[in-house]
Amino acid sequence: MTRRMLINVVEPEESRIAILKNNTLDELYIENTSKAKYQGNIYKGKIINIEPSIQACFVDFGEATNGFLHLSDTVESWQREEKNGGGKRNKKIYIQDLFTKGQEILVQVTKEGINGKAPSLTTCISLPGRFLVFMPFLHRLGVSKKIQKEEERNRLKQILQELPVPKGMGVIARTAAEGQPKKQIEKDFNYLLKLFNLVKKRAKKEHGPKLLYQESDLVIKTIRDVLSQDIKEIIIDEPVVYKKVKDFLQLIMPRHKRKVRLYNKAEPLFHAFQIEKEIEKIYQRKVILPSGGNIVIDQTEAMVTIDVNSSRSKKEKNLEETAFRTNYEAAIEICRQLRLRDLGGLVVCDFIDMVDDRHKREIERVFRENLKKDRAKTTMAKMSRFCIIELSRQRLRPSLSSSIYMTCPHCKGSGYVKTIDSLCVNIIRQIKLHLSKNDMERVSLRLNPVLASYIQNTKRGTLWKLEKKYHKSILIESDMGFGMEEFEFQRL
């Protein structure tokens, strides 16, 4: 298996990173550099309001929108859960007992605010390094669940126990720590401890709201979190970023420095590796499967729904086999699309109905195996008797579609616009309403040119009758600035 990392940053407005597996797009990261990013940043914030009814408070952390801090995202709540895990029942805690209005606290942004929602905050600060995650307020030593070999888990636990972790603080070994020598892990720990001491020093000096630590940009963050031994090549199309990556690798991962290569050919990088068309497919609702079937992906505020459809070539006697083959392909592709599009929250997958329980269990197995490739945390339920699989997926960042697209100004995000006949009927009703007013001599109507032409050509007789009935004239003007459902009346 050959894996490559392509870094396309030659256009300053947008950064794109693609991970190819055997020359096929496997992961994609896109960041619009003009949009402010808060996720991962640490701030000294000030509590603006406490809401006991929802056990949360709103925190001014110095950005455009106040952040949302729920009780479950506080250090005190996490510590209580850990103690309860030991069997001892602790006194229930309430948000109003932990904080007061105007209090300054240290917070970290865990989720960007999307769809009008406030950014999510936590007081459980964590600083990610290459091999470790440092948690200054939680006493916890752990190893990533994705490291499954017991011998390696025990080795890493031993290394963590020997680290000079200050009292009350904790560290977790990341997946990248697997197979790494103790010296490298110690180096990563010393860097993170030094970084937190700098944050703490700034927090004592500054008054909130104030930014104390800014998360790395997309390129450095992806190198830090995603780069692994099986990535054989890192290709970058911009000289300044190329040098920046080389310097970063020299500091934390010198062995990987030789993998970095500058791309300077005339043909754009992503076109050279023939993945631009694959990227365009990510934005489409329908994804075609190898056998001719397809999956249809719809994203709403409540959940993501994925419908699996079979191919056209299906014979009555092979319905079960056709369903199984299509579902098998769909299970693999759905997991890939979840990663590529970064779809988070509740996901409901409606597979084609199957009768054989062995087939159902096999689809479940394939689905679980492919979810293991995902860096996001996922929780999957068993397939129901209606062949539906439900899962929840951690949202690592705003979905790809929300980063690239905006709400349609015509349909306002519904995906539908009225038919031209329906619009005409509504406009005629509005004309009647305005003509019935006594404080005017004529009605002027401005609307989209297509709609204006349609009304003047098909409703000419209706307009003449209205003018005759109300003894007032009707003036219709076209305006390219109006959408299909937009119009404006002026009484003259």
Residue 446: give its domain's CATH number: 3.40.1260.20
β-bridge mates for residue 14, sequence order? 32
> Quick check: is 237 in a domain?
yes
Q: Is the dihedral of CA 81, 86, 87, 88 positive or negative?
A: negative
Q: Which amino acid, one-letter code, is at 293? A: G
Say whether both 397 and 272 belong to one domain. Answer: no
- Is 176 found in the same domain as 75? yes
Amino acid at 212: L
Co-location of 271 and 385 in the same domain: no
CA separation for the pair 79, 72 (Å, rounded): 10
How far apart CA 335 and CA 475 sit, in angstroms, is 56
Claim to verify: residue 291 and residue 358 sit in the same structural domain: yes
Same-domain pairing of 146 and 50: yes
Q: Are residues 28 and 170 in the same domain?
A: no
Together in a domain, 186 and 320 = no
Q: Are residues 267 and 249 in the same domain?
A: yes
d(CA 141, CA 139) in angstroms, rounded, equals 7
Tell whether 29 is covered by a domain: yes
Among 373, 404, 435, give the residue marking a domain's end: 404
Domain identity same for 289 and 393: yes
Residue 22 lies inside a defined structural domain of this protein: yes
Domain membership of residue 412 (yes or no) is: no
CB distance 400 to 30 below 8 Å: yes
Q: Map tokens 């020359």 to a residue.
A: 23
| Residue 345 domain flag | yes
Answer whether residue 415 is part of any domain.
no
Residue-number span of the structural domain to which 31 is assigned: 3-36+217-276
Does residue 104 sit in the same domain as residue 195? yes
Per-residue pLDDT of the chain (492 residues; tens, 9 = 90+): 688 999 999 988 889 999 999 888 998 998 888 778 889 999 999 999 999 999 999 999 998 889 999 999 999 888 776 666 555 556 788 999 999 999 999 999 998 887 778 999 999 999 999 999 999 999 889 999 889 899 999 999 999 999 999 999 999 999 989 999 999 999 999 999 999 999 999 999 988 899 999 998 999 999 998 888 889 999 999 999 999 999 999 888 888 999 999 999 999 999 999 999 888 888 889 999 998 999 999 988 789 999 999 876 455 457 888 899 999 999 999 999 999 988 888 999 999 999 999 999 999 999 999 998 888 889 999 999 999 999 999 877 666 776 677 777 777 777 778 888 989 999 999 888 888 887 778 889 999 999 999 999 999 999 999 989 888 899 999 998 888 888 898 866
The CATH number given to whatever domain includes residue 148 is 2.40.50.140
| Residue 160, token pair as written in the block | 């963590």
Q: Is the peptide bond before 268 cis (omega within 30 degrees of 0)?
A: no
In this structure, what CATH number is given to the domain that contains residue 248? 3.30.420.60
399 and 426 in a single domain? The answer is: no
Task: Tell me how many domains the chain contains.
Answer: 4
SS3 of residue 186 by DSSP: helix
In a domain, 411, yes or no: no
0.75 cut: is pTM over it? yes
If asked whether residues 269 and 354 sit together in one domain, one would say no
> Does residue 485 form part of some domain?
yes
* Domain end call among 183, 213, 243: 213
